Structure 1
Amino acid sequence: MMRVTLIGSGRVATHLGTALEDKGVVIEEVYSRNKKHAKKLAKKFYDASPTDELDFTNSIAEIFIIAVADNAIQDVADNIKLPNHKAILVHTSGGTPLEVLSGSTLYTGVFYPLQTFSFEKKIKFSEVPICIDATAKTALDQLALLAEILTPKVFHLNSDERKRLHISAVFACNFTNYLMEVSSQIIETSGLSFHELQPLVQETVDKAFSLPSPIEGQTGPAVRHDHKTIKRHLDTLEEDNPKFKYLYEHLTDAIQENKGQYVNAEVIKKLEELEEQEHLQEQLNEMGNSLSEEDEDYLDLEE
C-alpha cells in the first residue's frame, strides 16, 4: 500500500489525489497555504489530515507530490521538511526542470500528467500519459509503480525532453483553446452560436490524429493561397475585430511559409494594387462600351 501526501489543493491535486485513492493509494496529508482549502480537499479522502505547515518530519508518507503553480514550486522546495525515511519529493510540472528540487532531499523526481484539468470535468486517467523522472533509480522505480496504478502510458523523460513536450502541449492545448475563444467572439457577429462549430472542430481533431501528419489535413484559404479571400477576411477583421487581424495575418503567414509560398503584408499590398488596376480597367471598359453606343447612335443619325 503506497502512501502519498499532496502539496497543493488545486485542480491537479484534486484530480490526482482522487484517482490515486480510488486505486487504493492512501492520501496521508493535504497541504495548502490556506488551511480552509486544505480542509476542503482533505474531506474528499478517507483519512487525510489538512495542514498549512510544510513540516512533514512526522509523516509516514512515502511520496510527496508538489502540485502547485510553477512559480511556487521553488518556494515549497526551499521550505519543506521531510521525514527521515527515504521519502521522495516530486513536482507535477511539465515546464519546470527536476533540478528545482535539488537540495530538498536525496530523492527527488517528476510526476507529470499530460492533461489539462478543470474542477468540473472528471479525468479518465487510464488514457492520460504520465511522464516521470528521478535522481535515483530506486525513486524512478517507485514513481513508475505509482504511475502504473493509474495508466499504462508511463514515459521516462528527462527535463530537456519534458520541456519540449510541454511546449508541444502548449501549442496543442492552450493556444488551440485560445483560438476557439477568438472564434467564439467572431461567430457572434454572424448570428450563430459557437456550438455550431463543434462538428467542424471535432472533425479537424479526429483528422489530425488519423493522418500521418496534421499538415496533410490542412484546409482553408491560406493553404489554397486564396489571396482575395484572405484580404476580404483581413478587411472585415479590421472593421469588426482589429485585435485579431494581427493573429490572422501571422497564422496565415505561418501556414503559407510551411507550404513554401510566404504571404506577408507586402504581398497583400500588391494584391490591393492589382485589384485597383482591375477596377480601373473595368471603368475604362464601361467607358469604352458607352462610347461605342454613342458612336452607333451617331451613325444611325447619319443614315
Structure 2
Amino acid sequence: MKNISLIGSGKVATHLGLALEDKGAIIHEVYSRNLKHAKKLSKNFYDAIPTDSLDFTKSEAEIFIIAVSDGAIEEICKQIELPKHRCILAHTSGATPMEILAQAHVLTGVFYPLQTFSFDKEVDFKKVPLCIDGTSQSVLDNLAALAMRITPKVFHINSEERKKLHLSAVFACNFTNHLLEVSSQLVKNAGLELNDLKHLIYETVDKAFAVDSPKDGQTGPAIRGDKKTILKHEKELQKDFPEFLGMYQLMTDAIMEKQGNYITADQILSMDTQSQELDNEASDNQETDELDTKPDNDDFYLSE
C-alpha cells in the first residue's frame, strides 16, 4: 500500500507527506478545514487534490493518515467517509488510543513519529523512530512497510506503551525546550545570549547519554546541598524574574530529594528569613559600635 491521503495540513502532515512521497508513496488528497491550507500543502506534492471535505468515498488512497491535533481526531472520526475498497485509517498521535478510530473504520492503526516538527527545519527521518500499531497483523505489516520507506527505526508499540512514551517525550522535549527559553531570558539579563551557553547545553546532553543514568552526571548547587548558593539564586530571581522562582524551587527540591539532600522550598524561605534577621542584627550592632565611638556631650562641650 503506497497510496496515501493526508488528513491535516500542519507540521506533522507536511513532513510526513514530503518524506513519504520522496520515497515513492503517492499522495492523493490533502484535507484541511481551511481549504487554503490544503491547497498550500498540496502544491508540494506531484498530483495531490486539496479538499475541505471528509467525503473520501471516491478516493483511490489505501492508507488515510490523520495528522491533526489530538482534540480534533474524534470529531474527524465522526465525519469521515472512507471508500469501500480495503483501506487503513491511522492517526499520528502519541497520546490518543487507537480505539478512538473504531467508530469510523474497522482496519485502524497508529503511525506515530517520535519527533518534534517545525515548518522551517528539515527532518532527517532516517534517525526518527516511528511507532506503529494496528488492529490486525495485516494492518501492522502494511504500516510497517510504509514506515520502512522513510526510516529503519520502526517499532510496534501498543496504546499503553505509547502513552507512557509520549509522557516521557514531553519531559525530554517540551519541558527541556521551555527551560532553554527561561535560560535565554536569564542570560540576556546578564548581557549575553543563549548561544553563549551552547557548549554547556551540548555537553550536558552528551553526558546524559554517556553515563549509566542522567542522574550520574548531575551537577550544580542542588546535588551538592549548597544552600547558600541556592538562597542567592532565589534572591536574584525574586528581584528580577519572580515568575521563575517557583520553577527553580520545584526543580531544586526534586534534585535534592533524588540525591538524598532533600530540603523543601519552605525551609529555604525560612533560611531567607533567618538570613535577613542576621543582617538586621549585624546592622544594629554596627550602629551601636558607631555610637560608642562618638564623644558624649560633656566631652563635646569641654572640647569647645
| Paired amino acid for 1:144 | A
State the Cα distance separating 1:283 from its structure 2 match.
8.0
What RMSD over aligned residues (CA atoms) do the two structures have, in Å? 2.2
Greater Cα offset, 160-169 or 98-107: 98-107
In the alignment, residue 102 of structure 1 is paired with which amino acid? A
Match of 2:74 in 1: 74
Pair 1:6 & 2:6 matched:
yes
Task: Give me the identity figure in percent.
Answer: 57
The structural deviation recorded for 1:188 is 1.3
* Equivalent position of 2:226 in the other structure: 226
Using a 3 Å threshold, how does the CA distance of structure 1 residues 264 and 30 change in structure 2: closer, same or farther? Answer: same
Answering whether residue 215 of structure 2 is matched by residue 197 of structure 1, we say: no
**What are the residue-to-residue correspondences of 1:17-36 with 2, within 5 Å?**
17-36=17-36
**Partners of 2:249 and 2:140 in 1: how far apart?**
46
Which amino acid in structure 1 is aligned with residue 254 of structure 2? Answer: A
Tell me the equivalent position of 1:139: 139
Q: CA deviation at 1:264?
A: 1.2
Taking structure 1 as reference, are residues 51 and 273 closer, same or farther at Cα in structure 2, changes over 3 Å only?
A: closer
Kindly provide the amino acid, as one letter, of the partner of residue 234 in structure 2.
L
Distance 1:52 1:227 in 2: 59
Aligned to 1:258: 258
In the alignment, what sits opposite 1:127? 127
Using the alignment, how far apart are the partners of 1:245 and 1:17 within structure 2?
A: 43
Q: Aligned partner of 2:12: which letter?
A: V
Map 1:95-244 → 2, pairs under 5 A? 95-244=95-244
Distance of 1:81 and 1:208 partners within structure 2: 47
Tell me the equivalent position of 2:45. 45
Letter in 2 for 1:262: Y
Cα offset for 1:276?
Answer: 5.6
Q: What SS does the aligned partner of 1:233 have?
A: helix
Give the Å deviation of 1:261.
2.2
The CA deviation at 1:269 is 3.9
Alpha carbons of structure 1 residues 284 and 63: separation in structure 2 relative to 1, 3 Å: same
Cα-to-partner distance string for 1:62-119 (whole Å, 9 max, x where unaligned):
1000001110000111111111111100000001111111121110010000000001
Shift of 1:245: 0.2
Counterpart of 2:95 in 1: which secondary structure? coil
Letter in 2 for 1:174: N
SS in 2 for 1:203: helix
2:78 maps to 1:63: no
CA distance in 2, matches of 1:63, 1:137: 15
Match of 1:238, SS?
helix
Separation (CA, whole Å) in 1 of partners of 2:168 and 2:215? 15
- Any gaps of 5 or more consecutive residues in structure 1? 292-303
Greater mean deviation of Cα atoms: 255-264 or 2-11: 255-264
Moved more, 271-280 or 248-257: 271-280
Residue identity in the other structure for 1:52:
D
Q: TM-score, normalised by structure 1?
A: 0.91
Residues of 2 paired with 1:273 and 1:50: CA distance? Answer: 64
Q: What amino acid maps onto 1:232 in structure 2?
A: K
Superposed displacement of residue 272, structure 1: 3.4
C-alpha distance after superposition, 1:152-198 (max 9, x if no partner): 11111111110000000000000011111111111111011121111
Aligned residues: 293
* TM-score (norm: length of structure 2): 0.91
